[in-house]
Structure 1
Amino acid sequence: MGSNRDVIIIGGGVIGLACAHYLIDSGVGVRVLDRGKVGEGSSHGNCGLLYFSDVMPLCSPGVVTKELSRTLKGVSPLYIKPELDIAKYLWLLKFAMKCNSSHRNQAAKDKYEFLMYSMELFKSLFASSSLPCDFENIGVLTVFKEEKNFKASAGTQEFLASFGLQGEKITKERLVEMEPALLDDLAGAWLNKADWHLRPELLMKAWHKLLEDKGVIFHEDCAVLDLSIKNSSIDQVHTSQESFQATDVILAAGAWTPKITEKLGLNLPVLPGKGYSITMGRPEICPTYSCVLYEKNMVMTPWKSAYRLGGTMEFSGYSSSLDRKRIDKLISGARTYLKHPTGQPLIEEWTSLRPMTYDDMPVIDRAGHLKNLIIATGHGMLGLTLAPGTGKMVCDMVLGHPAEIDINPYSLKRFK
């Protein structure tokens, strides 16, 4: 590959492309292997939020009680497939144990630093590269149907204020004027101008092309079958196409990462969390802002080129099947907030797997027993948002440069 350092990246999602970007710009030879098509995993059909205000981890106080209550009422976005899977239930137990104020406070501090780091890198990326992707930085609305929830959300905003991320309170009267696409009977909203949105599949297509032009080599439909170890390092990566060698290997295969680490005797507590979306043409009255629809735990994103509803969290293993009921729930959920919840034509119904850790923090670290392996996964629902920060962090690891932010929160050691 024509460089003193050559890197193989396993995974052509947004994390893999971000790693490739900073490495190729540093003069490192880069080869990306993807089991399918580049950018066709969870990077493809998510709602495209760059959610820099999302410092609060999923495992926060009250989450377990709230979701149990909503499950009993049949309105929870969470679905856990009942099956004999001890690893899954241990993961869920550890998640529940993390739902405390101590973890929330520390995780929020760590996430804040990472999110702000990634934001600055996104600014530099968009300033220096042509990446047409329907990008807008007008902010994101979190919209409430019920008055009690809107009032209670003031506590969350106080927490965000400690990081300088408090949203602007939007009364129901002002909301009607500000976003005419929303129904008139909503309780109110918060507008957070720290948050942006883009169309992720357009970003992935443009970034893929940019990296190819810079010299990154891509292999699609190239499944990793095995890895050979020599002198405490990965010597060869054996795939469905051929075997490859490199000085460093980066494992950024999203939810599929544990399937590869188990070949190396490394138990990685990353669970696949299935999300759904439906993409359509813009409705008759199309919103201006991306909206988090609070009670339904879903997102609506309008772009110049399309319109998408997305959300849900389903723990059902590695199944790629699309459950029609989950798509229908997205549409019915949107009806409780929007005058015109759907548009024409139907462009895509989609599902994919997010890589979830039980503490809602990514894994970005060297595998201790293998000197040349770096793991970058577990970003949950923030893979797109944290991609540049992760890519730069991994690049610095490869080059032996000091990290620009604290990387200890993302260490594998925390799972021991």
Structure 2
Amino acid sequence: MGCDTFRVLRSGCASLVLVLLFCLCFPSSAYDPLDPNGNITIRWDIMSWTPDGYVATVTIFNFQKYRHIQAPGWSLGWTWAKKEVIWSIMGGETTEQGDCSKFKGNIPHCCKKNPTVVDLLPGTPYNQQIANCCKGGVITSLLQDPANAASAFQVSVGASGTSNKTVKLPKNFTLYTPGPGYTCSPAQIVQPTRFFSSDRRRVTQALMTWNVTCTYSQFLAQKTPTCCVSLSSFYNDTVVPCPTCSCGCQTNSSGCVEPNSPHLASVVSGQNGANPLIQCTNHMCPVRIHWHVKLNYQLYWRVKVTITNFNYASNYSQWNLVVQHPNFDNLTQLFSFNYQSLTPYASTNDTAMLWGVKFYNDFLMEAGPLGNVQSELLFQKDSSFTLEKGWAFPRRVYFNGDNCVMPPPDAYPSLPNASPRGASPRSYLVLVLLAAVILQYRQP
């Protein structure tokens, strides 16, 4: 083997190593270990044939446990396989009509080769609605609100073929929520959907059905994180903040807003919500989650969780929090939050989904005095309980489905050197009273 050949092989190996490191450090795959089967499925059901095409119901199902689509909602695009047009649409509308100049008299709703459909707003006239439409594009997660985890619209398609053999499947499906993040598979023909009547005595069937599966990648959605975690405890005065520059750094071009700025009101009122308007912080994250180990009883221990919004451009309805901690199997009580285990049948129930109580604290206001929600969690102790080595703090935290930046483990609040393992506040009180009595007897 010559030197030149060896150099080429060595260079190739080095390149391969770099590619592998990039894939490990910056994963773009959609696999989520906490929700491995989560996806959004788009189902296209042809319900009837027309003289030049068909009428179809398009349904977007959110099969993700905790990731949802918030305002301003979803938009769905695709590319027609032939020269199809949309004659009419109910429960949604296209963003552009396209060039319909070749049509005279009856003009289609949309003539674009690659149309984009958005949901209609609540309050749309009844004669323009269908079931599961008109929510402003908002779709809840499957565990949080299964009744609202789907959205739908109906299209009348022309110039498409009028049978299963002549209809061609659309291509290049794209789902925006409202930005990128989802990658959609090619459409696949599946068994026609069966529909039950309201009394479930009669069954009808779609004439043709195809599915598209879209999976989420946080790396594709945004290049930087969107949330971070800070920590504190009753046994240590140190508050461990979010790591500096967790979601970005303060620079002249960062566009952050000082909370005490005299021009704050005019800046906030002038923005349209399309871009983040973040309060200036060391972490520069739109959302911070604070985990405070509050109390240690003889049989129980207590945690306070606070979620703070630093984004002046957004408020978060239907927010949720996913926390991984080994003691969630012993969660006894929580206040002002809902709870659902994500691993109810696993050997270790260590992952919980938390969200606000409806009409009480399910709406996280934009940055400001009302820009936070909080709750307390009471855990029963088991044999694994300890306050040492950061055991009482979460292993991983997600906000609205995105992984939050955690402080490094060596920065966690530590026990004082003289503290006994798992000592309770009552023990400290006894020691203080005993010392006071001894001092009193020693006085002349």
TM-score bucket of the superposed structures, by smaller chain: under 0.3
TM-score, normalized by length of structure 1? 0.23
Structure with the higher fraction of residues in helix conformation: 1
Structure with the higher fraction of residues in strand conformation: 2
The structure with more radius of gyration? 2
Structure number with greater CO (CA < 8 Å, separation at least 6) is: 1
